[in-house]
Amino acid sequence: MADNTITVVGNLTRDPEIRYTAGGQANAKLAVAVSRRWNNKQTNEWEERTSFFNVVVWGEMADHCSESLQKGNRVIVTGRLEQRSWETEQGEKRSVVEIVADEVAPSLRWATAEVKRTERREGGSNYGGNSGGNSGGKSGGGNSGGRESSNEPAPAYDGFGDEEPF
């Protein structure tokens, strides 16, 4: 079976649009413009083509995107392609292919970012495989090493110890 994973790097064309389902689940819609530039060998001139991708982000990561990202930010999105179909009020059939994000992060190629770790919400769904619950690209926390869950929360681990790694 083929893998349905896509990664796009581009700029947000608008601020994230956050909404909540009737059950309180957050979802955000992003629009990412991806430009490709090349030198046309026949005309010896630079040409550019831009593609636009709709991205859907679910759960806590949607909240993080809404709080952290804005129009113009360069982002890296990894997810899967999904086709969604519906019928308009006028009876017209519509269909769209969108990226359902597994990860969204700011690109640090031409920018810097401050990453703040958030506490995981209890009882939240990890829809779409988002294990870290933050848009900074770090994941972890939670149970590790096969340890059984207990009523005590696991100590927070930010990936940095007090000692130097060498």
Ordered by where they begin, the domains of the chain are 5-38+45-106 (2.40.50.140)
pLDDT digit string (tens) for 11-47? 999 999 999 999 999 999 999 999 999 999 999 999 9
Residues 6+ apart with CB under 8 A from 57: 16, 27, 28, 29, 30, 65, 101, 104, 128
pLDDT digit string (tens) for 60-94? 999 999 999 999 999 999 999 999 999 999 999 99
The CA distances from residue 48 to 12, 41, 45, 107, in Å, are 18, 13, 10, 21
Give the per-residue pLDDT at 7. 97
pLDDT bin (cut points 50, 70, 90) of residue 121 is low
pLDDT digit string (tens) for 47-60? 999 999 999 999 99
Give the per-residue pLDDT at 61. 96
* 2 has pLDDT over 60: yes
Cβ(6)–Cβ(31) under 8 Å? Answer: no
Give the per-residue pLDDT at 118. 82
Collapsing DSSP to helix, strand or coil, 68 comes out as helix
The residue among 39, 51, 57, 67 whose CA lies nearest residue 10 is: 51
